[in-house]
Structure 1
Amino acid sequence: MTLILADVGGTNVRFAAAQDGVIDGARIKRYQNDDFDSFDSALSSYLERAGVSGVEGLSVAVAGPVSGGAARLTNRGWSFNAADLAEACDGGPVYLLNDLSALGYALDVLGEDDTSLVLDGPVVASEQRLVIGAGTGFNVSPVLQSGGQTFCLRAEAGLSSLPTRVAGIMQAYIGGVAPWVRCAEDAVRGPGLSELHAAATGGPVRDARDVMAAADEGDSDALASTEVYARMLGAFVQDLRLLYMPTGGIFLAGSVARGLLASPARDVFIEALGGQPTVKQTMAQVRVSLITRDEAALVGCLAYAQSMG
């Protein structure tokens, strides 16, 4: 029997199949969401193309709020219902969890080669950790340990209000308010860099990857926008340090976080991470790492399903 794993983002969906607690590397597939009108159709396509039969259950990480056996993508109109999805696995269990929670459940399973050090610092064993994801969207997952078990708390930090110091950095750069920012993630996700650069230069909105690539090639305007974005994201991480006190370490994830750390603005970002998050109290630096394994959320889906029996 096979457990199906799925990591559903706003742009891509990645599937895998696991048997006896082991992910079959040959059956890991990634699809563009634009090629399907729903998750159900993407799942059906995967099961057929991967030749999967005898499905015993489904564990799905969703880039959006999850509650009461239902979920919905924040940046795409896909909805998920555990009871309906159970029909695809012959009535077997269906686990829905937030994609950042999936990364949190993966932390204790990932190996040394699955992360890279961004900023060194002390780590207090068994203390709270924090996963921060910046990609098509933005969110966090506080990771706690108690009684030998790992628990990932639900959060939707990207849908909260933008912190004032982050807004101040942005407004100083573009010379005014940012009409595209309705909540925090609109400023610090990938499309936020696209809008920031367009507002600063008066040019068209370009994909964040193109802006970072241009910065890498020496485009001074693109470099300026990328560095400002790096300061904004670093300042937001500092606010998150205060909110969640992750003395067990911070783990960054997502395509934008990866791209930024591979860009010329890396040093600016790390400098922002190394600062003090508050003027009222000095806080010890915490270790910051980057999750580099593409299938990390799938690993977390498997770990969560196993923890649920």
Structure 2
Amino acid sequence: MPLAAPSDAALTLLADIGGTNTRVALADGAVLRPDTIRRYANAGHAALWPILAEYLTAGGSPRIGRACICAAGPVSAGKVTLTNLAWEISEAELAARTGVRDAAVLNDLAAQGHALDALAPGALRPVLPGQPVSAPDATRLVIGIGTGFNAAPVHRIGRGCFVPASEAGHVTLPVTDAETLRLHDFIARRSGFADVEEVLSGRGVALCHAFVCAEAGRGTPLDPAGVLAGIGAGDPLAEAAGRLFVRVLATVTGDLALTHLPHGGIHLIGGVARAIAPWLGRFGFATAFHARGRFAALVRDFPICVVEDDYAALAGCAIYLDRLCKDRPASSQN
């Protein structure tokens, strides 16, 4: 389907690369154009470039002046290496491939952080009310749960935001009781190292179910979609897996909250976060999150919501690059 006719000004090309899908869109400056959003499966593509070429060709080859991509992986020296996909993308190659002068690469959680101020009110699904602080310098926290897991604080700096790099999904899985110790050992035997992402991700939903089946000595391990369907159908083993997943999520979220003190709010983002959201209350998220001993009152202050907007990272890319270009010294823009 051809894209809507571009404006007279050159547009910004955006891409949000996850472990499973890539979303591509255009923006007018800092404003995302929702009518231009397209989604592509990463499977079958050896790199990002054929996806971008297909997108632009299908859209009638609109005039591109800038390009910004975000991806699920660590960024260093203008280059991102995806954690769950064998792609590596640099700002220099992005500029060369698209023919633009201004090109930027950032982590997908950073893009989500830059998008927070642009979210529509209806894009937020409340989980816990907390006591939000409206002060402009109140730290916020984004937690991404999808093909992988990551988290990063969002700090307001001047007219924009600073979202420091993080790989929070690869810290050691917390052990809080005998069951989570057995879960830790179950993962370590399978993977060699039990990190947070092994549980709090798409594959982690299935891993929790496999663990519950092994503990019960019955049942057949299911894929993530099967587990979620089983929860909806009231299957006891699927519900036990969901309850374990939610308890670990609440524990990790509480740890991150005490690390960053996000009085501006905690935002759960990603496909798995949205999928598990209906069961957070039923599976005891609040109880596990508040189980902080003498610090329980402190974590009760942090409001938590789920971001329902699947394309927020694209908006964040547009906002980030537009601010980057505006903040560049005038002499470098000539």
Distance in 2 between the 1:22 and 1:77 partners?
30
Distance in 1 between the 2:60 and 2:275 partners?
34
Of stretches 87-96 and 123-132 in structure 1, the one that deviates more from structure 2 is: 87-96
Distance in 2 between the 1:114 and 1:194 partners?
27
Distance in 2 between the 1:2 and 1:281 partners?
48
- 1:143 counterpart (143, 146, 154): 154
Q: RMSD of aligned C-alpha atoms?
A: 2.0
Residue 85 of structure 2 corresponds to 76
Residue 58 of structure 1 corresponds to 67
3-state secondary structure, aligned to 1:188: coil
Contact kept, 8 Å, 2:173 with 2:184, in 1: the verdict is no
Contact kept, 8 Å, 1:253 with 1:292, in 2: the verdict is yes
- 2:229 counterpart (207, 210, 213): 213
Distance in 1 between the 2:251 and 2:260 partners?
15
Give the TM-score of the pair, scaled to structure 2: 0.86
- 2:249 counterpart (233, 237, 242): 233
**Counterpart amino acid of 1:257?**
A
Q: Deviations over 1:119-169 (max 9, x none)?
A: 10111122110000111100012100133331111111011222232x854
- 1:13 counterpart (18, 22, 26): 22
Q: 1:256 to 1:175 in 2, by over 3 A?
A: closer
Residue 104 of structure 1 corresponds to 113
Residue 306 of structure 2 corresponds to 290
Q: What are the within-5 Å matches in structure 2 for residues 21-40 of structure 1?
A: 21-40=30-49
**Counterpart amino acid of 1:115?**
L
User: Does structure 1 residue 46 correspond to structure 2 residue 48?
Assistant: no
3-state secondary structure, aligned to 1:268: coil
Residue 270 of structure 1 corresponds to 285
Distance in 2 between the 1:68 and 1:239 partners?
29
Of stretches 152-161 and 198-207 in structure 1, the one that deviates more from structure 2 is: 198-207
Contact kept, 8 Å, 1:13 with 1:31, in 2: the verdict is yes
3-state secondary structure, aligned to 1:96: strand
**Counterpart amino acid of 2:120?**
G
Residue 223 of structure 1 corresponds to 239
Q: What are the within-5 Å matches in structure 2 for residues 144-163 of structure 1?
A: 144-163=155-174
Distance in 1 between the 2:128 and 2:40 partners?
33
Percent of matched pairs sharing the same residue: 33
Q: Per-residue deviation at 1:51?
A: 2.1
Contact kept, 8 Å, 1:103 with 1:131, in 2: the verdict is yes
Give the TM-score of the pair, scaled to structure 1: 0.92
Q: Per-residue deviation at 1:25?
A: 2.4
**Counterpart amino acid of 1:238?**
G
Contact kept, 8 Å, 2:154 with 2:161, in 1: the verdict is yes
Contact kept, 8 Å, 1:133 with 1:139, in 2: the verdict is yes
Q: 1:119 to 1:79 in 2, by over 3 A?
A: same
Distance in 2 between the 1:304 and 1:169 partners?
42
Contact kept, 8 Å, 1:13 with 1:32, in 2: the verdict is yes
Greater radius of gyration (CA)? 2
Q: Per-residue deviation at 1:42?
A: 1.4
Residue 164 of structure 1 corresponds to 175
Give 5+ residue unaligned stretches, structure 2: 1-9, 326-334
Q: What are the within-5 Å matches in structure 2 for residues 182-261 of structure 1?
A: 182=193, 183-202=195-214, 205-261=221-277
3-state secondary structure, aligned to 1:177: helix
Distance in 2 between the 1:306 and 1:276 partners?
42
Distance in 2 between the 1:301 and 1:241 partners?
25
**Counterpart amino acid of 1:271?**
A
Q: Per-residue deviation at 1:269?
A: 4.3
Q: Deviations over 1:65-120 (max 9, x none)?
A: 01101001100101101111111232421111110111100011112012121110
Distance in 1 between the 2:66 and 2:244 partners?
45
Distance in 2 between the 1:300 and 1:168 partners?
41
**Counterpart amino acid of 2:322?**
Q
Residue 299 of structure 1 corresponds to 315
Of stretches 209-218 and 194-203 in structure 1, the one that deviates more from structure 2 is: 194-203
Task: Tell me how many residue pairs correspond in the alignment.
Answer: 306
**Counterpart amino acid of 1:163?**
P
Distance in 2 between the 1:136 and 1:269 partners?
23
**Counterpart amino acid of 1:129?**
R
